Amino acid sequence: DAGVTQSPTHLIKTRGQHVTLRCSPISGHKSVSWYQQVLGQGPQFIFQYYEKEERGRGNFPDRFSARQFPNYSSELNVNALLLGDSALYLCASSLEGGIDSPLHFGNGTRLTVT
Amino acid sequence: GIQVEQSPPDLILQEGANSTLRCNFSDSVNNLQWFHQNPWGQLINLFYIPSGTKQNGRLSATTVATERYSLLYISSSQTTDSGVYFCAVVDSSASKIIFGSGTRLSIRP
Protein backbone atom coordinates (compact mmCIF):
# COMPACT_ATOMS: atom_id res chain seq x y z
CA ASP A 1 0.00 0.00 0.00
CA ALA A 2 1.15 3.53 -0.72
CA GLY A 3 2.20 5.69 2.19
CA VAL A 4 1.30 9.32 2.72
CA THR A 5 1.97 11.26 -0.47
CA GLN A 6 2.60 14.99 -0.67
CA SER A 7 2.90 17.29 -3.65
CA PRO A 8 4.79 19.13 -4.84
CA THR A 9 8.12 18.03 -3.35
CA HIS A 10 9.75 21.42 -3.82
CA LEU A 11 8.33 24.88 -4.44
CA ILE A 12 9.77 28.36 -4.84
CA LYS A 13 7.49 31.36 -4.35
CA THR A 14 7.85 35.11 -4.03
CA ARG A 15 6.80 37.17 -1.00
CA GLY A 16 3.12 38.05 -1.11
CA GLN A 17 2.13 35.10 -3.28
CA HIS A 18 -0.22 32.28 -2.34
CA VAL A 19 0.62 28.58 -2.17
CA THR A 20 -1.38 25.34 -2.02
CA LEU A 21 0.15 22.13 -0.73
CA ARG A 22 -1.53 18.75 -1.16
CA CYS A 23 -1.59 15.54 0.86
CA SER A 24 -3.11 12.10 0.29
CA PRO A 25 -3.36 9.89 3.38
CA ILE A 26 -2.72 6.19 3.67
CA SER A 27 -5.67 4.22 2.36
CA GLY A 28 -8.20 3.77 5.18
CA HIS A 29 -6.86 6.67 7.24
CA LYS A 30 -9.45 9.35 7.89
CA SER A 31 -7.38 11.93 9.78
CA VAL A 32 -4.78 14.30 8.34
CA SER A 33 -2.58 16.78 10.20
CA TRP A 34 -0.14 19.43 8.95
CA TYR A 35 3.18 20.60 10.39
CA GLN A 36 5.78 23.26 9.65
CA GLN A 37 9.41 22.38 10.26
CA VAL A 38 12.00 25.14 10.15
CA LEU A 39 15.62 24.06 9.74
CA GLY A 40 17.09 22.87 13.02
CA GLN A 41 13.78 22.72 14.90
CA GLY A 42 11.09 20.16 15.62
CA PRO A 43 7.85 20.11 13.62
CA GLN A 44 5.25 22.70 14.67
CA PHE A 45 1.60 21.61 14.59
CA ILE A 46 -0.60 23.66 12.23
CA PHE A 47 -3.93 21.82 11.78
CA GLN A 48 -5.63 18.48 12.22
CA TYR A 49 -8.70 17.37 10.25
CA TYR A 50 -10.95 14.37 10.65
CA GLU A 51 -14.01 13.60 8.54
CA LYS A 52 -13.63 17.00 6.87
CA GLU A 53 -13.85 18.90 10.13
CA GLU A 54 -11.07 20.81 11.89
CA ARG A 55 -10.22 19.05 15.16
CA GLY A 56 -7.13 20.99 16.24
CA ARG A 57 -5.27 24.17 15.41
CA GLY A 58 -1.78 25.37 16.29
CA ASN A 59 -0.52 28.92 16.87
CA PHE A 60 -0.41 30.06 13.26
CA PRO A 61 -1.88 33.24 11.73
CA ASP A 62 -5.07 33.29 9.70
CA ARG A 63 -2.97 33.34 6.52
CA PHE A 64 -2.79 29.58 7.03
CA SER A 65 -5.91 27.56 6.20
CA ALA A 66 -6.69 23.99 5.29
CA ARG A 67 -9.47 21.70 4.26
CA GLN A 68 -10.16 18.00 3.89
CA PHE A 69 -12.04 16.48 0.98
CA PRO A 70 -14.57 13.58 0.93
CA ASN A 71 -11.77 11.19 -0.16
CA TYR A 72 -9.83 12.30 2.99
CA SER A 73 -7.09 14.07 1.03
CA SER A 74 -6.20 17.54 2.25
CA GLU A 75 -4.90 20.90 1.13
CA LEU A 76 -2.91 23.46 3.11
CA ASN A 77 -3.16 27.02 1.84
CA VAL A 78 -0.89 29.89 2.82
CA ASN A 79 -1.70 33.43 1.70
CA ALA A 80 0.51 36.53 1.57
CA LEU A 81 3.72 34.53 1.89
CA LEU A 82 6.50 35.87 4.09
CA LEU A 83 10.20 35.00 4.02
CA GLY A 84 9.67 33.28 7.39
CA ASP A 85 7.25 30.81 5.82
CA SER A 86 10.20 29.07 4.18
CA ALA A 87 10.22 25.60 5.71
CA LEU A 88 9.54 21.92 5.22
CA TYR A 89 5.79 21.30 5.38
CA LEU A 90 4.85 17.85 6.57
CA CYS A 91 1.57 16.02 6.38
CA ALA A 92 0.70 13.03 8.56
CA SER A 93 -2.23 10.66 8.47
CA SER A 94 -3.67 8.52 11.22
CA LEU A 95 -6.32 5.85 11.42
CA GLU A 96 -8.47 7.22 14.19
CA GLY A 97 -10.14 10.58 14.55
CA GLY A 98 -8.32 11.84 17.60
CA ILE A 99 -4.94 13.48 17.43
CA ASP A 100 -3.66 10.94 19.93
CA SER A 101 -3.28 8.22 17.31
CA PRO A 102 -0.06 6.92 15.70
CA LEU A 103 1.07 9.37 13.03
CA HIS A 104 2.50 8.37 9.64
CA PHE A 105 4.31 11.15 7.78
CA GLY A 106 4.80 11.95 4.12
CA ASN A 107 8.13 13.10 2.73
CA GLY A 108 7.14 16.75 2.90
CA THR A 109 7.06 19.79 0.64
CA ARG A 110 10.05 22.09 0.88
CA LEU A 111 8.85 25.67 0.39
CA THR A 112 11.28 28.49 -0.32
CA VAL A 113 10.00 32.07 -0.24
CA THR A 114 12.24 34.66 -1.90
CA GLY B 1 0.66 24.63 27.30
CA ILE B 2 2.71 21.49 27.71
CA GLN B 3 6.48 21.86 27.40
CA VAL B 4 8.54 19.01 25.92
CA GLU B 5 12.28 18.83 26.48
CA GLN B 6 14.67 16.33 24.96
CA SER B 7 18.19 15.48 26.04
CA PRO B 8 20.92 15.39 25.07
CA PRO B 9 20.60 17.79 22.12
CA ASP B 10 23.51 16.12 20.34
CA LEU B 11 25.12 12.71 20.66
CA ILE B 12 28.12 11.30 18.77
CA LEU B 13 28.86 7.59 19.13
CA GLN B 14 30.94 4.88 17.53
CA GLU B 15 29.20 2.09 15.66
CA GLY B 16 28.21 -0.68 18.06
CA ALA B 17 27.67 1.59 21.07
CA ASN B 18 24.43 1.83 23.05
CA SER B 19 22.54 5.06 23.78
CA THR B 20 19.66 6.41 25.83
CA LEU B 21 17.61 9.42 24.72
CA ARG B 22 15.28 11.19 27.14
CA CYS B 23 12.03 13.09 26.71
CA ASN B 24 10.53 15.08 29.62
CA PHE B 25 7.10 16.65 29.50
CA SER B 26 5.63 19.23 31.86
CA ASP B 27 2.10 17.88 32.33
CA SER B 28 0.14 14.67 32.05
CA VAL B 29 -0.38 13.46 28.48
CA ASN B 30 -2.59 10.87 26.84
CA ASN B 31 0.13 9.45 24.66
CA LEU B 32 3.69 9.84 23.49
CA GLN B 33 5.31 8.94 20.18
CA TRP B 34 8.94 8.62 19.13
CA PHE B 35 10.10 9.44 15.61
CA HIS B 36 13.34 9.18 13.65
CA GLN B 37 14.04 11.82 11.00
CA ASN B 38 16.66 10.57 8.56
CA PRO B 39 19.15 12.85 6.79
CA TRP B 40 16.73 13.18 3.86
CA GLY B 41 14.03 14.62 6.12
CA GLN B 42 11.72 11.63 6.25
CA LEU B 43 9.99 11.14 9.64
CA ILE B 44 9.46 7.52 10.66
CA ASN B 45 7.22 6.53 13.55
CA LEU B 46 9.23 4.30 15.91
CA PHE B 47 6.88 3.86 18.85
CA TYR B 48 3.41 4.85 20.00
CA ILE B 49 3.86 4.44 23.74
CA PRO B 50 1.47 6.14 26.21
CA SER B 51 2.91 4.06 29.04
CA GLY B 52 4.97 0.95 29.69
CA THR B 53 7.73 -0.57 27.59
CA LYS B 54 7.87 -1.65 23.97
CA GLN B 55 10.65 -3.22 21.94
CA ASN B 56 11.30 -3.40 18.23
CA GLY B 57 14.56 -5.07 17.32
CA ARG B 58 17.50 -3.03 18.60
CA LEU B 59 15.19 -0.23 19.74
CA SER B 60 13.07 -0.08 22.85
CA ALA B 61 11.12 2.65 24.61
CA THR B 62 9.76 3.17 28.10
CA THR B 63 7.25 5.80 29.19
CA VAL B 64 6.59 6.53 32.86
CA ALA B 65 3.56 8.79 32.53
CA THR B 66 3.23 9.42 36.28
CA GLU B 67 6.77 10.82 36.35
CA ARG B 68 6.39 12.62 33.02
CA TYR B 69 9.25 11.16 31.03
CA SER B 70 10.04 8.68 28.30
CA LEU B 71 13.28 6.98 27.30
CA LEU B 72 14.37 5.62 23.93
CA TYR B 73 17.12 2.99 23.97
CA ILE B 74 19.21 2.16 20.94
CA SER B 75 21.52 -0.84 21.24
CA SER B 76 24.41 -1.86 18.97
CA SER B 77 24.16 1.39 16.98
CA GLN B 78 24.56 1.33 13.21
CA THR B 79 25.40 4.22 10.89
CA THR B 80 21.85 4.07 9.55
CA ASP B 81 20.62 5.06 13.03
CA SER B 82 22.03 8.56 12.43
CA GLY B 83 19.54 11.39 12.24
CA VAL B 84 17.33 13.33 14.60
CA TYR B 85 15.06 11.64 17.12
CA PHE B 86 11.89 13.45 18.19
CA CYS B 87 9.32 12.73 20.82
CA ALA B 88 5.81 14.15 20.50
CA VAL B 89 2.92 14.38 22.95
CA VAL B 90 -0.72 15.40 22.74
CA ASP B 91 -1.93 18.41 24.70
CA SER B 92 -5.56 17.29 24.89
CA SER B 93 -6.77 20.48 26.58
CA ALA B 94 -5.55 22.52 23.63
CA SER B 95 -6.08 19.87 20.93
CA LYS B 96 -2.46 20.21 19.85
CA ILE B 97 0.44 17.91 19.11
CA ILE B 98 3.71 19.13 20.64
CA PHE B 99 7.12 17.99 19.40
CA GLY B 100 10.35 18.26 21.33
CA SER B 101 13.38 19.95 19.79
CA GLY B 102 15.03 16.62 19.09
CA THR B 103 18.27 14.74 19.75
CA ARG B 104 20.72 14.71 16.85
CA LEU B 105 22.49 11.33 16.81
CA SER B 106 25.61 10.76 14.74
CA ILE B 107 27.01 7.22 14.50
CA ARG B 108 30.62 7.05 13.32
CA PRO B 109 31.84 3.90 11.48
Q: Among A6-10, B14-18, B24-28, where is mean pLDDT lowest?
A: B24-28
Distance from CA of A38 to the nearest CA of B (A): 11
Report the C-alpha gap between A56 and B41 in whole angstroms.
24
For A41, the closest of B90, B96, B101 (CB atoms) is B101
Flag if B99 and A43 touch (Cβ within 8 Å): yes
The whole-number average pLDDT for the span B9-29 is 95
- pLDDT at position B1, please? 84
Residue B93 has pLDDT above 90, yes or no: no
Residue A7 has pLDDT above 90, yes or no: yes
- pLDDT at position A97, please? 65
Distance from CA of A62 to the nearest CA of B (A): 17
Q: Specify whether the CB–CB gap between A110 and A13 falls below 8 A.
A: no
- pLDDT at position B31, please? 86
What pLDDT digit, counting tens, does each position of B23-66 carry? 999 988 878 999 999 988 999 999 999 999 999 999 999 999 99
% of chain B exceeding 70 in pLDDT: 100
Report the C-alpha gap between B46 and B55 in whole angstroms.
10
Contacting A with CB below 8 Å, chain B residues are: 30-31, 33, 35, 40-45, 48, 50, 86, 88, 90, 92, 94-102
